[in-house]
Structure formats: structure tokens, C-alpha cells
A and B are shown apart, each in its own frame.
Chain A
Amino acid sequence: MFKRIILLLAGVWMMSAPVAAQDQPEATLIPSAVLRVEEAGLPPISRLELPPEDLGFAGARLAIEDNDTTGRFMGQDFEAEEVVTTPDAAADEMDRLIDEGVEFIVVLADDETMLSLADHAGDRVMLFNATAHGDNLRGTDCRANTIHVAPSHAMLADGLAQFLMWKKWSRWFLIEGSHPEDAAFAEALRRSATKFGAKIVEERVYEDTGGARRTDSGHVQVQKQMPVFTQRAAEHDVVVAADDAGIFAGYLPYQTWDPRPVTGSAGLMPRAWHAAMEAWGASQFQNRFEKLTNRPMRDEDYLTWLALRMIGEAATRSQSSDPATLKEFMLSDQFEVAGFKGQKLTMRDWDHQVRQPILLVTDLLLTSVSPQDEYLHQVSQLDTLGIDRSETECTF
């Protein structure tokens, strides 16, 4: 088999004038890295969501396989070094990677670390933000060296809001957690309510006071606490939970005082990806991932895959392996990449956010995909999600 590939490659280089790199006997290496910054924290409230050891990295491995398969025809070879680090050590790790010659780094970190790494990196390297949703990172704190592959809070909130308005569920009971990221998501939800005409009729904060979480028979406590916490809210159509920290939202469905659907951080959730997605060729993409990793794909894997595929796609389209050319191409209006979401994904030049549909999912299935058809836009319907050009607070 290997022999045959070699033979074929030889054939490819000799004969395929249109794209193959004829005068490159050796493939050009395009090195990148995936930097996963881990913080010590509590385990998730469901044991089904325990993070796998290869979280994000698995997506990188698939992307590198995909890029290399195409690279065979282009004379390009892709690599992604996998690094696990802590918030304190992340900057040093980044320096080490840059010293090694890495030009593209996918970062899996929270908002604060993402921003400090972007400032630390400066113009030495291009970063891809795969997990930080903060709107400030695309607004007042935007950095020219960062491409946001992860959807922003505003995009997630708008995706959910469009669906709720389509359902005519316009009276929201907003419950936010007490962590800063919860407050950030809640703020995005308030903005979405105003943007699409929903009314937040009641707001409450669920304080994280620690506590039993996953103790034996903890459900008895939950069953008592949640109805009490949600009782006597103003008349509402839905509960919208902002719980990025993953403290309480998972306990809300079926435990609210009033029989209302739960959305946001539990129940119907806006996400970048879902392992049950089958449409738009996603089945075979999921199959390839599962064959490689023996587990379902998570958002972090999808977004890391997408970031590295963007590099691969830029290399194929620009027919270049030069990092500066690739960076410029990715940020240009010519750039587009297919991401198994039914349409091409492109770049917002005003804040370097990747445009993408938002999936609305329950635990087992895809419920809908936003933008909803009814929300139109003069440039791209995807710009009905998140911060549009005229609203941006970002200046590079």
C-alpha cells in the first residue's frame, strides 16, 4: 500500500500541472500547535460530560489527517503539536512553541487566559480561539492576531433567541449563575432579547455556594431546591439559563415551579456542534472522527478541527506554504471553508469572528439550526447572529 502511494505521488508530481507543486520534491512542512490550558476545577455535574484526555486534540488529529491527504497532492505536510498546560505556564509554553517555529496556535482556554495569551503573543504568531465565547474578546478587547473559531456569546444567544421568537416564546425567565462567564452570557441574552423583541419578565441569580453536587442521593436535594428557587416568577413562556460554569442549569429541566421548557445552558442549548448531527455530510465526518478516537465528537474537537482545517484550506487555495500568505488569505474576503454545517464558513473582517450557523440541540438530538429562515440580512444571513459590522466595538 505504502509503495503504491509513493508511486502515485510520483505520478502526481510529474503530471498534474494545474495544482501539484512540480518543483518541490519534498513536502513543505506547515507546523502548528494546539495549546489546551486546563484549570483545576470541579468535575461536571453529569459524569457523561467528563472531559476525555484527548479533548480538542482528537479534532486536531483528524484535521491533520484531512490536511495531509490533500497535502499529498499539493506537496504540503501538516503538523499539530499537542500541549497541555496551566494558566500560569501557558505563556512559557507559547514562547517555546514560537521558538520551535510554530506559526499557528489553536488555544483552548477561558476568556481571561485567551486574552492574556493574545497579548503575550503579539505579532509573533496567529492564534485561533477554539473555546472562549466572551463578546469582549471580539469587541473592546479584540486582538488582530486572534481568529475566533468559537462562536461568541452573542452568536449563541442570537441563535437561541431567533428560535424562541419563531416559537413565539417571547417572555423569558432569565436565571444566571454567579460566575463571571455566566454574567457575560446573561448579558448577551439580554442583548438578544432586545434585538429580537423578547421580554425578560423575571431575572434571578443562582448563587454557587458549593455544596453537595454529586453526592449520593443528591437528587433529593435538587428536587426540593429547584422548584423553590423558581417559584412565583412572573408569567413566562420559557426559562433561559446562563450557566457557562455548569453549576445548576442541568438541574432545571422538570424541576421548575411552573411547567416551562428550559433553554440556554440546559434543555435546548445553542452549540457549535453536536455528535448527533447527520445533515450536510456530517455523518461521514462523525464516522471518521469516531473511527479515529472511539468516542463522539465534542464542540472543542469540532472547533479545533475547524481551526486547523482553515489553515489547510488556506494552504490549498493560496497554493502556498508561507505563513504570512496563509494568514493574509484567511483574513481576506476570498476565504471560505466547508464545516459540515450546510454552507460555507467565512471570516468577519471587523472582529475576526468565523461566521457559522448555530445548532440548537437537546441531549440526544439536533432540534433546529439558526439563523432561522425568517431573519434576513443584506450581506449574509449568518450576520443576523452576533455582532454585526455596524455594531462592533473592535478596532485593530
Chain B
Amino acid sequence: MKHLLTLVLCLAATPVLANRVFVSNEKGNDVTVLDSETLEVIGSYPVGNRPRGITISPDGKELYVCASDDDLVRVFDPETMEETHTLPSGPDPELFVLHPSGNPLYIANEDDNLVTVVDTETHQVLAEIPVGVEPEGMGVSPDGKVVINTSETTNMAHFIDSETFEITANVLVDSRPRFAEYNHDGSKLYVSAEIGGTVSVIDPATQEIVHKIEFEIPGVLPEAIQPVGVRVTSDGSRVFVALGPANRVAVIDGETDEVLEYLLVGQRVWQMAFTPDEKLLFTTNGNSNDVSVIDVESLEVVKSVPVGQQPWGVVVAPD
């Protein structure tokens, strides 16, 4: 009994670094919140119609959700999940990226071939940037100077100056580019192509494709390998790519761009998010309605957690 008490005291003394994990459920019109430590569901909360892209402010105080069918971005208090306000987003917001400073928010308007830039403090639209057909993927360089948009039917990565809002370059990639992600020193930009089945590695300095990562999984039809979400560890050594209906996450060496391993997750895996300590990676599996939890160190899938209907995006609260 005494032992137990000491143990409890010890536990209480060390702050448990649990972070909230927010999963948007596209068909469920809600967000499921998980605890990153216990991996239990805390609750699910209505967030508007067709929630897809989801992100959180660097200070962890504002949770942003693209409510695609409401044509706006809804903002929630991540603790209470009460809606605090909305942001104008332009029509059909799908995915967005926050400037590293937390302001502004760059939003891809899928139906209208625009990227809308919104000030998260004044809630004003700062610019509408015409891009290619079906803009989706949004990335931002670590220094915040360049915003990347990918257009799914035009098949380009558009480089946008984050201050002047002008397109400075267009890089043609493979079919249906879904996602753009820089590594942390800004030396590589990864752009996934869902139908092309590849990830283009672009040198941001020259805006040229330096390598194309291809995937091959024994027993999986090539057509089912559809890269979508991309996440890179902060040291740049590992790149994770969600392969959609191949139900795998590819692990790539960030130096050599070689595929190291394929991890079996739930069905139709699209988006991913690390915990701040990068020990865990959460994946959204749209067809099995769950989230797979990957141990980044051991590269093992440690758990799957049922969430809502057709989970789409995921973000983890900062420490």
C-alpha cells in the first residue's frame, strides 16, 4: 500500500505530457479528440459540414477546421471544443497551412481554383490567389517565405511568395498532387501525386525535381498505391508517406530518398500527424473509420483507435 502511494505521488509529481489529438471526420461532420498518452477517445464534437483540413495555432489556443460544405473555416477552443468564431475561407476550403508565426492562414479552395489568404487576428481576407484546377495541398517553407499549393487537375506545385501573394514558379509533377511538405531545414520539398503514384522531391532553391520516389509493395496492385499525406521528422532523417488504398505508410530515408519499409495501417490512409516529441505518428484511415498509431522509433503500428465516419485530417496539440 505504501509502495503504491509513493508510486502515485511520483506519477503526480511528473507532469504527464499528454497532448490532444484532433481528427476531422469528413462524413461524420465532427472531430474526434484523443489523448496521445492513453490513446483513448476523449469525445467527439460537431464542427460543421464536411470537415477536412484541420490545424492548430502554434500556441495551441486555436483549432482551425475547414468546414468544406459550409464554405468557411471554423475556429474552436481546443480545450472545450466550443466554437469561438469563423474565418472567411472562400468556397469549398479543403486544406490549409498556417504561417509558422501563426498568422496568416493560407487556404486551398478546391472548387474555385483559388488560394485564399486570411488574417487569423483581424479575420479579414488578405488576398485571393488564382492557381490551377482543384487546389488542395498546402505547404509552407520553414522560414515562412514561400507557400506551396498543389493543384490536383493541373498537376502543378505552385510556389507563392507569402508576402506579395504572387506565384513565383510552377513545377509540373505527376497526376493529382495532394500534399506538399518541406523538410525542416527547407532543403527539400516533397510533393505527393495520388494517381501518378509518386512523391516528387523538389529542390526549393532551383524549383527542379531532383528525385521521384516510387513505391512497390508485393501483393498490392500498383494502381492501389496512391500517395497522399507526407510528414518529415524534424531532423529530416525519416519521411512518412500515406499510400491511400494500399493501406500502408511508407517510411523513407530522408537523405537518400530510398523507401525503407512499409507499415500496414487501416484502410485508405490519407493524412498524418506527429506528437510534438515525434514519438508517435497518427494516421487517418478513411475507409476503416479509425486512426492507426505508429511508434516512430520502432516503426511499429502499436494501436488502432476507432474514430468517426471517414476520418480525413489529423493534428496534435503542441506542448
B114 to chain A, nearest CB (A): 10
Determine whether A295 belongs to the interface, using a CB cutoff of 8 Å to chain B: no
Contact A317 B172 (CB under 8 A): yes
Determine whether A342 belongs to the interface, using a CB cutoff of 8 Å to chain B: yes
Determine whether B314 belongs to the interface, using a CB cutoff of 8 Å to chain A: no
Contact B176 A70 (CB under 8 A): no
Contact A342 B223 (CB under 8 A): yes
Which residues on A sit within 8 Å (CB–CB) of B132?
Answer: 69-70, 73
Other-chain contact of B167, A11, A18, A69, A343 (Cβ < 8 Å): A11
Contact B175 A287 (CB under 8 A): no
Determine whether A232 belongs to the interface, using a CB cutoff of 8 Å to chain B: no
Determine whether A47 belongs to the interface, using a CB cutoff of 8 Å to chain B: no
Contact A66 B167 (CB under 8 A): no
Q: How many A-B residue pairs have CB under 8 A?
A: 103
A69-B113, A70-B153 given; A18·B207 CB < 8 A: yes
User: In the assembly, what is the distance between CA of A288 and CA of B134, in Å?
Assistant: 10
Chain A, interface residues (CB within 8 Å), range:
35 or more
Chain B proximity mask over A256-290: 1 for CB below 8 Å, otherwise 0: 00000000000000000000000001001101100
A67 to chain B, nearest CB (A): 9
- Report the count of interface residues on B (CB-CB < 8 A): 37
Other-chain contact of B133, A5, A17, A69, A337 (Cβ < 8 Å): A69
Which residues on B sit within 8 Å (CB–CB) of A380?
Answer: 223
- Classify the interface of chain B: helix, strand, loop or mixed: loop
Most-contacted residue by chain B among A1, A20, A66, A69 (CB, 10 A): A69
User: In the assembly, what is the distance between CA of A20 and CA of B154, in Å?
Assistant: 13
B288 to chain A, nearest CB (A): 15
Interface residues of B in 105-160 (CB under 8 A from A): 110-111, 113, 128-130, 132-134, 151-156, 158-159
A69-B132, A344-B195 given; A287·B92 CB < 8 A: yes
Contact A381 B176 (CB under 8 A): no
Determine whether A19 belongs to the interface, using a CB cutoff of 8 Å to chain B: yes
B50 to chain A, nearest CB (A): 9
Which residues on A sit within 8 Å (CB–CB) of B176?
Answer: 281, 338
User: In the assembly, what is the distance between CA of A47 and CA of B176, in Å?
Assistant: 37
Determine whether B216 belongs to the interface, using a CB cutoff of 8 Å to chain A: no
Determine whether A4 belongs to the interface, using a CB cutoff of 8 Å to chain B: yes
Determine whether A168 belongs to the interface, using a CB cutoff of 8 Å to chain B: no
Determine whether A8 belongs to the interface, using a CB cutoff of 8 Å to chain B: yes
Determine whether A15 belongs to the interface, using a CB cutoff of 8 Å to chain B: yes
User: In the assembly, what is the distance between CA of A15 and CA of B175, in Å?
Assistant: 23
Determine whether A220 belongs to the interface, using a CB cutoff of 8 Å to chain B: no
User: In the assembly, what is the distance between CA of A18 and CA of B197, in Å?
Assistant: 21
User: In the assembly, what is the distance between CA of A373 and CA of B220, in Å?
Assistant: 10
Which residues on B sit within 8 Å (CB–CB) of A165?
Answer: none
Chain A proximity mask over B199-228: 1 for CB below 8 Å, otherwise 0: 000000001100000000000010100100
Contact A338 B153 (CB under 8 A): yes
User: In the assembly, what is the distance between CA of A68 and CA of B163, in Å?
Assistant: 27
Determine whether B86 belongs to the interface, using a CB cutoff of 8 Å to chain A: no
User: In the assembly, what is the distance between CA of A156 and CA of B166, in Å?
Assistant: 47
Tell me the nearest residue of chain B to A62, going by C-beta: B133
Most-contacted residue by chain A among B169, B172, B195 (CB, 10 A): B195
Which residues on B sit within 8 Å (CB–CB) of A338?
Answer: 152-153, 155, 175-176, 195
Contact A17 B207 (CB under 8 A): yes
Tell me the nearest residue of chain A to B169, going by C-beta: A16
B195 to chain A, nearest CB (A): 4
Contact B169 A336 (CB under 8 A): no
Contact B169 A70 (CB under 8 A): no
A281-B152, A316-B155, A337-B175 given; A15·B169 CB < 8 A: yes
Contact B168 A15 (CB under 8 A): yes
Contact B134 A281 (CB under 8 A): yes
User: In the assembly, what is the distance between CA of A291 and CA of B166, in Å?
Assistant: 28
B220 to chain A, nearest CB (A): 11
A294 to chain B, nearest CB (A): 15
Which residues on B sit within 8 Å (CB–CB) of A313?
Answer: 155
User: In the assembly, what is the distance between CA of A66 and CA of B128, in Å?
Assistant: 18
- Classify the interface of chain A: helix, strand, loop or mixed: helix
A284-B134, A287-B92, A338-B195 given; A69·B169 CB < 8 A: no
Tell me the nearest residue of chain A to B195, going by C-beta: A338
Which residues on B sit within 8 Å (CB–CB) of A291?
Answer: 111
Contact A70 B156 (CB under 8 A): yes
User: In the assembly, what is the distance between CA of A1 and CA of B170, in Å?
Assistant: 20
Other-chain contact of B170, A7, A20, A317, A382 (Cβ < 8 Å): A20
User: In the assembly, what is the distance between CA of A237 and CA of B168, in Å?
Assistant: 61
Determine whether B196 belongs to the interface, using a CB cutoff of 8 Å to chain A: yes
Determine whether A45 belongs to the interface, using a CB cutoff of 8 Å to chain B: no
Most-contacted residue by chain A among B113, B158, B196 (CB, 10 A): B113
Determine whether A121 belongs to the interface, using a CB cutoff of 8 Å to chain B: no
Which residues on A sit within 8 Å (CB–CB) of B221?
Answer: 373, 381
Contact B172 A316 (CB under 8 A): yes
User: In the assembly, what is the distance between CA of A381 and CA of B221, in Å?
Assistant: 8
Chain A proximity mask over B9-39: 1 for CB below 8 Å, otherwise 0: 0000000000000000000000000000000
Chain B proximity mask over A280-320: 1 for CB below 8 Å, otherwise 0: 01001101100100000000000000000100010011000
Chain B proximity mask over A66-82: 1 for CB below 8 Å, otherwise 0: 10011011000000000
A13 to chain B, nearest CB (A): 10
Chain A proximity mask over B44-78: 1 for CB below 8 Å, otherwise 0: 00000000000000000000000000000000000
Which residues on A sit within 8 Å (CB–CB) of B111?
Answer: 284, 287-288, 291
Which residues on A sit within 8 Å (CB–CB) of B113?
Answer: 69
Which residues on A sit within 8 Å (CB–CB) of B42?
Answer: none
Contact A73 B170 (CB under 8 A): yes
User: In the assembly, what is the distance between CA of A229 and CA of B258, in Å?
Assistant: 64
10 closest Cβ pairs, A-B complex: A343-B223, A70-B154, A16-B169, A338-B175, A338-B195, A11-B166, A73-B170, A66-B133, A69-B133, A16-B170
What are 8 A-B residue pairs whose CB atoms fall within 8 Å in the complex? A11-B168, A15-B168, A69-B133, A73-B154, A284-B110, A291-B111, A338-B195, A344-B175
Assuming A69-B113, A281-B176, what are 11 further A-B pairs, CB within 8 angstroms?
A1-B128, A8-B167, A16-B168, A18-B171, A19-B172, A70-B132, A73-B170, A284-B110, A338-B152, A344-B175, A382-B223
Task: List A residues at the B interface (Cβ < 8 Å).
Answer: 1, 4-5, 7-8, 11-12, 15-20, 65-66, 69-70, 72-73, 281, 284-285, 287-288, 291, 309, 313, 316-317, 336-338, 342-344, 373, 380-382
Task: List B residues at the A interface (Cβ < 8 Å).
Answer: 92, 94, 110-111, 113, 128-130, 132-134, 151-156, 158-159, 166-172, 175-176, 195-197, 207-208, 221, 223, 226, 245
